[in-house]
Amino acid sequence: MSIPGQQSADALISRLGVPVDPDLLILALTHRSFAYEAGGLPTNERLEFLGDSVLGIVVTDKLYHAHPDLPEGELAKMRAACVSQRSLAKVARDIELGPCILLGKGERTTGGRDKESILCDALEAIFGAVYLTHGMDVARDVILRLVGPSLEAAALSGVALDWKTSLQEACAERGLGSPVYSVVGEGPDHARSFTATVLIAGEPRGTGTGSAKKHAEQDAAAEAYAAITSDA
């Protein structure tokens, strides 16, 4: 199997700054929609799972040592800001990852190459591929080089993009109890979509959608946060 636009793929490797095992690279770029249409090929989801964990430990370690005086809650918010779907999608766009992703026809025709969820998942899969190819030290260097601006922005702004944590805190301040999330999945495995609803004091206050439960819940939390903080 080849990667669409081999020149784009070569440029991607150049921007990563390290070579990646060719088989792992193709796997990292294989979205489930393409795998389904191609007769059930392996998808990038296992690599995404691995890359998500590698990204998490690298960012956590960096924040822990860079901010020795910050409490756990603030570190958690900064980490969430750095590894949010929006932040990772921006990194993916910066390295022009979208044109390299293997997508099914439906995703291609609906702008899948610029969807935040697809870009985020593919970037995490790339991190997983780099880790398997080179090990932790090289993976750390690549990740910090790419997400470094997000780390710096989070440190300077102090603004959390972890909407679930922000919502939890806002509810506690207002005596509303803990938010309760309900998530429903729809569609076939190769095009799964999740819808999350968050209940506050028994009432639905926000909804969100995404290709993963965590993304749907974050979107729902963001909407609910806006709703309750604007209440009189």
Instruction: Tell the residue number behind the tokens 């969430």, with chain if given.
Output: 80
The Cα 14–Cα 8 span in angstroms is 10
52 is catalytic: yes
Q: Is 124 annotated as a binding residue?
A: yes
Catalytic residue (choose from 52, 107, 116, 217): 52
Catalytic residue (choose from 124, 217, 219, 223): 124
Torsion (CA) 24, 27, 28, 30 in degrees, nearest 10: 160
173 is catalytic: no
Q: Is 121 annotated as a binding residue?
A: yes
Q: Is 219 annotated as a binding residue?
A: no
Name the residue type at position 138. V
CB 192 within 8 A of CB 215: no
Encoded tokens for 165: 């944590």
CA distances from 158 to 33, 62, 72, 99, 109 (A): 37, 16, 14, 33, 38
Q: Which residues are annotated as catalytic? A: 52, 124
Q: Which residues are annotated as a binding site for Mg(2+)?
A: 48, 121, 124
Q: Which residues are annotated as a binding site?
A: 48, 121, 124
